[in-house]
Structure 1
Amino acid sequence: MQHPYTRLPARSFWRTAVAEPDPLDITDLWTPKFTISQDDPVVTAGSCFAAHIGRALLEQGMHWYDAEPPPPGLTRAEQSARGYRQFSFRTGNIYSAAGLRQWVAWALGEERPPEEVWEHDGTFHDPYRPAVEPDGFASPDELLRSREVTLAAVRTALTRADVLVFTLGLTEAWHDEATDTVLPMCPGTVRGTFDPARHVLHQHTVARVHRDLTRTLDLVHRVNPRLRTVLTVSPVPLTATATGRHALVATTHSKSVLRAAAGQLADEDDRVDYFPSYEIVTGFPYRAAFYEPNLRAVTPRGVSFVMRHFFTALRGRPDPAHPAHPTTPVTGGEDHWCDDAVLDYYNPRPVPPAG
Structure 2
Amino acid sequence: MNPYQCLPPRAFWRTAIAERPAEQVGELWSPAFEIDAKDAIVTAGSCFAQHIGRALVAREMNWLDAEPAPADLPEEQRKARQYGVFSFRTGNLYTPAMLRQWLQWALDDQPQPGETWEHDGRFFDPFRPSVEPAGFASEQALLASRQATLEAIRLAVRRAKVFVFTLGLTEAWVHRDTGVVYPLCPGTVRGEFDPRAHQFRNFGFTDTCQAMTDAIALMRAVNPSLRLLLTVSPVPLTASATGEHVLSATTYSKSVLRAVAGQLCQDLPEVDYFPSYEIITGTPFKGAFYQPNQREVTPEGVAFVMRQFFAGLAAEAAPAASVATPSVTCEDLVCEDARLDFYA
CA distance in 2, matches of 1:76, 1:199: 36
Residue deviations 1:313-355 (CA, integer Å, cap 9, x gap): 0012356xxx4236869994257410011100000xxxxxxxx
Secondary structure of residue in 2 paired with 1:167: strand
* SS across alignment from 1:337: coil
Give SS of 1:200's match: strand
Whether 1:268 aligns to 2:267 is yes
TM-superposed CA distance for 1:12, in Å, is 0.8
Task: Tell me the secondary structure at the aligned position of residue 230 of structure 1.
Answer: strand
Counterpart CA distance in 2 for 1:7 and 1:168 is 34
The residue aligned with 1:325 is 321
The amino acid of 1:70's aligned partner reads: A
Alignment pair present for 1:166 and 2:162: no
Give TM-score, length-normalised by structure 2: 0.97
Q: How many residues align?
A: 343
Aligned partner letter, 1:17: A
The residue type equivalent to 1:278 in the other structure is Y
Higher alpha-carbon deviation: 201-210 or 91-100: 201-210
1:345 aligns with 2:342: yes
Query: Does the alignment pair 1:293 with 2:292?
Result: yes
Secondary structure class of the residue paired with 2:265: helix
Q: Which residue of 1 aligns with 2:83?
A: 84
Identity across matched positions, percent: 56
Q: Which runs of 5+ in 2 are unaligned?
A: none
CA–CA separation in structure 2 for the residues paired with 1:10 and 1:22: 15
- For 1:273, what is the secondary structure of its paired residue? strand
Question: Does the aligned pair in 2 maintain the 1:282–1:288 contact within 8 Å?
Answer: yes
Deviations 1:39-79 (A, max 9, x none): 10000000000011111111111100000001123333321
Match of 1:350 in 2: none
CA RMSD in angstroms comes to 1.6
Q: Which amino acid aligns with 1:100?
A: L
Give unmatched runs, 5+ long, in structure 1.
348-355
Aligned residues of 1:46 and 1:166 also touching (Cα < 8 A)? yes
The match for 1:230 is 229
Query: Which residue of structure 1 aligns with residue 9 of structure 2?
Result: 10
- TM-score (norm. length: structure 1): 0.94
1:245-256 → structure 2 map (5 Å cutoff): 245-256=244-255
SS at match of 2:250: helix
- What is the 5 A alignment of 1:73-152? 73-152=72-151
